[in-house]
């Protein structure tokens, strides 16, 4: 099964073919900084247009791998990708004895055998295999997976050698129009190289992952390319290919890559031995600036991230942020909307500080923001085993750290469902991960011990009040 994310648009832009100029620089002795500062030029003659990408490809291709992921078959039919369901119909499921398989691409970023791919390629898998460019195959362990960025890090098993790698570059050096190469295994046909340009930067309305800040390219990306590198003309990774806009499921010239600066954060967490990515905690709620807010906020145009509320004692509070402040930059990098802020903030290193440019009233000023992780409190996780509508669900006490993991309002409090096993009574009754349990049988639920006490008491009729997103829901079940 090919696992490359794609989104449907009614209108797609035509694929634009770009020819080159700076190819000779790819094999020159220039430094990276010199290359980044070199002027961009277009082909001046037919001879220029005959220049080749081959030197770059020869250098990076050995580090690009195929990733095969499988989940062992169980007693239930296996859900399919929407791509296949469109052809086979909503009622069709693959037989259980086939299990579930996924094919994607990846890239070696550390010579000890550390591989970066997309999280959606290996999501739910209990068996992962990596095939190198030289046809050798290795079993792989999942070191870290981060659904918020759609990045996963693997480690080759039994590897006692140094592997070829591609260095992670600086995605902030990119400019629209720069030449790029996409490398991967589209449709399982084998390693394939496509070329194009950077079509746009900082795409934030894509809806792929939590951090909406993507490189857009017209280099052909197809199912199977997911997790493969997008490389620049210095042969460095400047993005990890993750999704396409398409009417057919194939490339139509609008592909998206996760910027390398975000990939670096996930890789650093994996190398440090962490099982989760450590990110800075803000402690404030943000929203986009709309055109009708511009005058009242002292802005010239609708850009920035508007501070709606600040949690007392949080880094935002200690930095002096106030409601109605508009964050317009992070370390000098412009912030157009809350998505851009989230990206810029999340890519800053823990333990340091960040300078935020803000507009307060009609004046622009700066504040220094301490970069620290969200505070954690005792989660007191509990699996509901007593007979009840919640049977099988796992719950925990909310904390800022858990709220961050679940992508919830950082000020949320109470008991939250963190896991609903497939086929459990809780799933059958419609409970979902992220539901906050407020009241059960007229008893307020503040901690997991409250929930346990109410569940143990039992009942013939169960009345629930819960919060899902911004909506309060009431439900009633028979015992």
Give the pLDDT means over successive 10-residue stretches in the chain (479 positions).
Answer: 41 29 38 57 69 87 93 52 38 44 89 94 89 93 90 92 94 90 85 88 62 80 86 93 65 79 92 85 92 91 94 93 95 91 91 94 92 89 92 93 82 90 92 93 93 90 90 88
- pLDDT for 12 equals 29
Cross-strand bridge partners of residue 214:
203
CATH number reported for the structural domain that contains residue 412 in this entry? 2.30.42.10
Q: Is residue 193 domain-shared with residue 208, that is, in the same domain?
A: yes
CATH (domain of 183): 2.40.10.120
Q: Which of 223, 256, 278 is the last residue of a domain?
A: 278
Q: Does residue 103 sit in the same domain as residue 175?
A: yes
How far is it, in rounded angstroms, from Cα 328 to Cα 336? Answer: 7
Domain count, the chain: 3
**Tokens 């591989």 identify what position?**
115
Which tokens go with 349?
């290193």
Helices (H) and strands (E) in the chain, counts: 12, 26
- 3-class DSSP state of 214: strand
Name the pairing type of β-strands 237-245 and 5-7.
parallel
pLDDT (0 to 100) of residue 80: 39
Decide if 377 is inside a domain: no
Element (H, E) at 418: strand 415-419
Give the end of a domain, one of 216, 246, 278. 278
On whether both 30 and 175 belong to a single domain, the answer is yes
The CA distance from 464 to 443, in Å, is 9
The boundaries of the domain holding residue 90 are: 1-278
317, 391: one domain? no
The pLDDT value recorded for residue 208 is: 55
Quote the pLDDT of residue 164.
95
Global pTM?
0.74
Shared domain check, 288 and 255? no
**Rounded to an integer, what distance in angstroms lies between the CA atom of residue 67 and that of residue 89?**
28
Catalytically active residues, by annotation: 120, 150, 226
Place of tokens 């992070």: 330
For the chain, the residue count is 479
């Amino acid at each position: 099964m090919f696992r490359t994310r794609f989104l449907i648009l009614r209108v797609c832009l035509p694929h634009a073919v770009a020819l080159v100029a700076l190819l000779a620089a790819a094999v020159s002795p220039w430094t990276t900084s010199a290359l980044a500062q070199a002027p961009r030029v277009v082909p001046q003659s037919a001879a220029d247009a005959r220049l080749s990408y081959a030197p770059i490809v020869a250098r990076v291709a050995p580090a690009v791998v195929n990733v095969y992921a499988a989940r062992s078959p169980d007693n239930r039919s296996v859900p399919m990708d929407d791509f296949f369901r469109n052809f086979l119909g909503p009622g069709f499921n693959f037989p259980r004895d086939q299990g579930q398989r996924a094919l994607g691409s990846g890239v070696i970023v550390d010579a000890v055998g550390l591989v970066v791919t997309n999280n959606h390629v290996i999501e739910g898998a209990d068996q992962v295999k990596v095939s190198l460019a030289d046809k050798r195959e290795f079993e792989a362990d999942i070191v870290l997976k981060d659904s918020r960025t759609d990045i996963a890090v693997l480690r080759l098993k039994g590897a006692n050698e140094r592997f070829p790698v591609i260095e992670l570059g600086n995605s902030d050096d990119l400019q629209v129009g720069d030449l790029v190469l996409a490398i991967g295994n589209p449709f399982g046909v084998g390693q394939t190289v496509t070329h194009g340009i950077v079509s746009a930067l900082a795409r934030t309305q894509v809806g792929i992952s939590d951090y909406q800040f993507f490189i857009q390219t017209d280099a052909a990306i197809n199912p199977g390319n997911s997790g493969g590198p997008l490389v620049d003309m210095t042969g460095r990774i400047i993005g990890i290919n993750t999704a396409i806009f398409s009417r057919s499921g194939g490339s139509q010239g609008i592909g998206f890559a996760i910027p390398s600066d975000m990939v670096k954060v996930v890789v650093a967490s994996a190398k440090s031995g962490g099982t989760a990515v450590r990110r800075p905690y803000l402690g404030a709620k943000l929203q986009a600036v709309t055109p009708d807010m511009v005058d009242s906020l002292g802005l010239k145009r609708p850009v920035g991230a508007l501070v709606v509320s600040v949690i007392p004692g949080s880094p935002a509070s200690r930095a002096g942020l106030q409601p109605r402040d508009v964050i317009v930059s992070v370390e000098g990098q412009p912030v157009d909307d809350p998505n851009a802020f989230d990206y810029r903030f999340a890519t800053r290193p823990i333990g340091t500080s960040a300078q935020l440019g803000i507009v307060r009233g009609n004046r622009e000023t700066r504040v220094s923001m301490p970069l620290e992780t969200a505070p954690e409190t005792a989660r007191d996780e509990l699996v509901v085993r007593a007979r009840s509508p919640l049977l099988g669900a796992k719950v925990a006490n909310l904390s800022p750290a858990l709220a961050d993991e679940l992508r919830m309002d950082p000020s949320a409090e109470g008991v939250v469902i963190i896991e609903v096993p497939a086929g459990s009574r809780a799933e059958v009754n419609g409970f979902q991960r992220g539901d906050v349990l407020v009241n059960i049988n007229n008893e307020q639920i503040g901690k997991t011990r409250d929930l346990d006490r109410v569940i143990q008491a039992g009942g013939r009729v169960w009345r629930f009040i819960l919060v899902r997103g911004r909506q309060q829901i009431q439900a009633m079940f028979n015992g």
